[in-house]
């Protein structure tokens, strides 16, 4: 037997048992291998945990970076009455594409088709247009008992609003028994093409409205209606979407726009809330707060009582 050959631990030469010294060396080698294996497993577990945590944080950070904060400016309908909406935005789940509504989605609060209305737009209200207008081709009979004020309607091209339908809608508002014709001093008539008028109602995109109304106050840009000279300028956005602060259908809010601005045309000034729980006057700048009053679109109630309030200095 070659005495220079060392037998592997745990094996026998067939003649004698492994020496205690060799056994101790074998045990140390086993413990060392066990330590290495356990350490490798722990390191792998830590790495997996780190990998799971870090990508999640990065994704959340990306979502924050892409979250769309869309500040809707306070929307005033004045000098003509209008609306405002609370700023929208904040964190949202990460998703491809813009955070704003898809172009094919109807604008929030868009009206459903109704007689005399402009119908339901199939896309969000355009912000701007060419600044050119198309007049209605229809005419009407005098409404009211007073001196007739003749008017026509013009709609900005590309707005999606039919001039004739809009004219009938405004005509029905002016003829309503809760409207200005309840006062025997007032009367109105929709003028036909080419006929002289006392005032014009223009439905214009927000950008064109700003130009016609000479809007410079930042929070009113793109949001306001007004009366400029003998022109009642109706913001297309307000006409189509109404006001988030006005409780009622969009057709009712259109009545508030028309009654408020035509009220200025016939010489009416701003009024304020007469008391908590009472209807807000049509000449109140309701966008600035109802002060306890209830939203209201009409100068008169169904019984013919003028819904007045203290005059605003």
Say whether 219 sits in a helix, a strand or coil: helix
d(CA 311, CA 285): 11
Joined together, the tokens standing for residue 28 give 């140390």
Task: Please name the residue that has the structure tokens 């410079």.
Answer: 216
Per-residue pLDDT tens for 110-131? Answer: 333 333 344 444 468 999 999 9
Q: What are phi and psi of 135, to 5 degrees?
A: -85, 155
Give 254's contacts (C-beta < 8 A, 6+ positions apart). Answer: 117, 169, 173, 239, 242
Q: For position 92, what pLDDT does the model report?
A: 36
CB 309 within 8 A of CB 292: no
C-alpha distance from residue 89 to each of 5, 98, 105, 197, 269 (Å): 80, 13, 18, 46, 37
- Predicted TM-score (pTM) of the model is 0.62
Say whether 204 sits in a helix, a strand or coil: strand
Strand partners, 202: 154, 233
Compute how many other C-beta atoms are within 10 angstroms of the C-beta atom of residue 294. 13
Domains of the chain: 133-268 (3.40.390)
Does the CA dihedral 172-177-182-184 come out positive or negative?
A: positive
Closest alpha carbon to 261 in 220, 224, 291: 224
Encode the chain (313 residues) as per-residue pLDDT tens digits.
444 433 344 444 444 455 666 666 667 666 656 554 544 444 444 343 333 333 333 222 322 332 232 222 333 333 333 333 333 333 333 333 333 333 333 333 333 333 334 444 446 899 999 999 999 999 999 999 999 999 999 999 999 999 999 999 999 999 999 999 999 999 999 999 999 999 999 999 999 999 999 999 898 899 889 999 999 999 999 999 988 778 889 999 999 999 999 999 999 999 999 999 999 999 998 877 789 999 999 999 999 999 999 999 8
Alpha helix ranges (H) inside the chain = 20-66, 163-175, 206-213, 236-241, 250-265
């Amino acid at each position: 037997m070659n005495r220079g050959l060392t037998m592997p631990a745990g094996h026998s030469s067939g003649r004698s048992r492994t020496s205690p010294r060799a056994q101790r060396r074998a045990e140390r080698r086993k413990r060392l291998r066990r330590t290495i294996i356990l350490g490798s497993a722990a390191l792998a577990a830590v790495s997996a945990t780190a990998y799971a945590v870090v990508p999640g944080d990065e994704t959340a950070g990306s979502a924050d970076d892409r979250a769309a904060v869309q500040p809707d400016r306070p929307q005033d309908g004045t000098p003509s009455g209008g609306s405002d909406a609370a700023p929208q935005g904040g964190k949202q789940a990460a998703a491809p594409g813009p955070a704003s509504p898809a172009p094919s989605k109807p604008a929030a609060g868009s009206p459903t088709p109704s007689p005399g209305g402009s119908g339901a737009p199939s896309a969000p209200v355009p912000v701007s247009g060419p600044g050119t207008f198309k007049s209605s081709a229809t005419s009407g009979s005098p409404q009211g008992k007073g001196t007739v004020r003749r008017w026509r309607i013009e709609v900005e091209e590309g707005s999606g609003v039919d001039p004739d339908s809009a004219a009938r809608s405004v005509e029905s508002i002016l003829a309503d028994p809760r409207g200005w014709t309840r006062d025997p001093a007032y009367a109105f008539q929709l003028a036909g093409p080419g006929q002289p008028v006392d005032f014009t109602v223009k439905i214009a995109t927000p950008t064109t409205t700003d130009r016609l109304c000479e809007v410079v106050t930042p929070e009113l840009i793109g949001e306001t209606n007004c009366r400029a000279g003998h022109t009642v300028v109706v913001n297309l956005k307000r006409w189509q979407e109404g006001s988030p602060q006005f409780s009622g259908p969009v057709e009712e809010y259109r009545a508030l726009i028309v009654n408020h601005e035509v009220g200025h045309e016939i010489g009416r000034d701003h009024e304020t809330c007469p008391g908590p729980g009472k209807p807000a006057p049509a000449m109140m700048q309701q966008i600035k707060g109802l002060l306890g009053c209830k939203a209201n679109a009409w100068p008169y109630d169904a019984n013919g009582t003028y819904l007045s309030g203290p005059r605003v200095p």
